Amino acid sequence: MKLAILAPVAWRTPPRHYGPWEQVASTICEGMVQKGVDVTLFATLDSQTHGRLDGIIGKAYEEDPESDGLVSTCMHISYLMEMADQFDLIHNHFDYLPLTYSRLIKTPMVTTIHGFSSSKIWPVFERYNGSTHYVSISYADRLNTLDYIGNVYNGICVDDFTFCDQPEDYLLFFGRIHPHKGAYEAIQIAKKAKRKLVISGIIQDQTYFDEKVKPLIDDEQIVFVGSSGPEKRDQLLGKALALLHPISFDEPFGLSVAESMFCGTPVIAFNRGSMPELINHNKTGFLVLNVDDAVAAVNDIRLISRSYCRSHAMANFSSQHMVEGYYDVYQKIIKD
């Protein structure tokens, strides 16, 4: 099988710090290479892979102030599609724009839907429902007007996360600083629970950060450490008493939730979107409805077995589990 994996070009693949879609594309690529699949990764030219690397965009547009995101996107997608006949299958991780090529090429395409940014993009997925194959990353994030060939949970490289059985006494918020992710709510939980909170993530909404988060940072109880790369991420997650995930949207997956459990760290999350599929309530953390419920959960967090968190993550969200899931999807498409 000759497989083309289309990663986004917002960030490098794999990302240096942030880039969940790029991270998943990279993990699948490396896993398929290990299985002996002939893989070409289409990504920024500074990306890293053990497969073949191809592309036309030198540097990620989020990392290059001189570039235009839309121009980079158009050039990157069309570059692959113009050589589509060289591959047996294309795996699209770049949202809805590549779908518009699906009737113009003969090579079958499978698209992982990493989430719907809004209902305004639904018509594109619906229009090309019959000319591509869709995979969801959680059953909670499915659109009932679409046909799906499978559901494959995002997978984590086990070796990237160290199990820690003796945490320090702080709570952690790990994610982009945006109203959807709930950094402000995490601060309220920590203050009411009288616990230290460490905040790590890229600032995606500067106004939200300046008005709701920054005024509450005191570098004692509420500490902001900025974006964290892989090594720092492992340390922060592993040593945390719990990860706070007070989301205000129906999140399709939540990589940091799975990553936290790989470190043995339980998660306290607002019960929305895919959270019930990731978190085993009362066993790997707590699903709560509001800030006060989360405060009560913090007080009970030591009742959670950290070793069980790790085993739960290993059984459901490992990179090997994800790679096997997609390999089965590939075989089904090629057979059909």
By mean pLDDT, which of 15-19, 141-145, 172-176 is the weakest? Answer: 15-19
Q: Is the pLDDT of residue 217 over 90?
A: yes
Q: Tell me if the domain spanning 2-155+318-335 has CATH number 3.40.50.2000.
A: yes
Radius of gyration of the chain (CA): 20
158-316 has the same fold as 2-155+318-335? yes
Single out the residue of 164, 171, 168, 160 nearest to residue 306, CA to CA.
164
- Residue 203: DSSP 8-state: B
- Tokens representing 21? 């879609």
Domain spans, the chain: 2-155+318-335, 158-316
Q: How large is the average pLDDT for residues 305-315?
A: 97
Mean pLDDT of the chain: 97
Distance in angstroms (rounded) separating the CA atoms of residues 55 and 78: 10
Q: Is the pLDDT of residue 218 over 90?
A: yes
DSSP-derived 3-state class of residue 65: coil
Residue 283: CB atoms within 10 A of its CB come to 14
For residue 94, what pLDDT is reported? 97
* DSSP structural state of residue 213: I
pLDDT grade, residue 253 (50/70/90)? very high
For the chain, percent of residues with pLDDT exceeding 90: 97
CATH fit for domain 158-316, picks 3.40.30.10, 3.90.1150.10, 1.10.260.40, 3.40.50.2000: 3.40.50.2000
Per-residue pLDDT band for 17 (boundaries 50, 70, 90) equals confident
DSSP per position, 125-178? HHHTTTSSEEEES-GGG--TTS--SEE----B-GGGS---SS--SEEEEES-BS
Does the pTM of the predicted model rise above 0.85? yes
Q: What is the pLDDT of residues 51-63, one digit of tens each?
A: 999 999 999 999 9
